[in-house]
Structure formats: structure tokens, C-alpha cells
Amino acid sequence: MKYGSTVNGLCSKLTSDLDLTILTKHQDSEIVLNDLVGVLKKYGNQRYEFSSPRRDRAGWILNFRDNILLTDIDLMVNKVSEILNSEIIREYSMLDQRFVEVTHFLKAWNK
């Protein structure tokens, strides 16, 4: 499932990545992501560039790039709260355009 700025409408067309999460009953995120790397290597046909899954403050993450769509992708496992947060922010964005404008300003300033 998608989450983050592509869902909440706050993405930048030039610099935003695609945030995805796999929802599974399997609890070991590292194993799930390593299995996915194996599938991508087998069937990706050089479409994807990726590194090994790594642990960050939010859990295990797999960063890779789709060389056809020219998009960076962050893939995590069971990030339900991030999905819900993205939906809440999307609702804020729909209520008042000023929220969107201020958020874009803050994102640019933060870089």
C-alpha cells in the first residue's frame, strides 16, 4: 500500500519518492524484505537498482530505484500508522489549501 506524500497530495513532482508498505502477518520485516530482493533480482531484468535492506529508526527499509519510471522507492513492512497518518494529512489538505502551501514551504526550507 502507498503512504506518504503521494497519498496525502503533498508530493513534489521533481523530488518525491514513492513510499510503500507491505501488509503481512509475517512479523520479521528483514526476512520479508530480503525475500523481495530475491524476487526483484530474479524478475527485475535490470529495471531496479537496490541495496540490501537496512534498519533505520522506523524499522527495516528497502530503498530501490525504478530505472524505467525514474522513481526512488522506500519499501517497509506493516507500517499501518503511516498509512493512517497519510490519510489524515490528505484530509487536512482537502480542507484548506493554505495547509498545502505552508507544508510545501516547510519541506523546501527543510532541504
Q: What is the pLDDT of residues 71-103, one digit of tens each?
A: 899 999 999 999 999 999 999 999 999 998 998
Please state, as a whole number, how many other Cβ atoms lie within 10 Å of the Cβ of residue 3: 23
Task: With cut-offs at 50, 70 and 90, classify the pLDDT of residue 14.
Answer: low
**Average pLDDT, stretch 12-24?**
84
Tell me which residue of 84, 79, 77 sits closest to 32, measured CA to CA: 77
Please give the grid coordinates belonging to residue 107: 519541506
Weakest-pLDDT range from 5-14, 35-44, 75-84, 89-98: 5-14
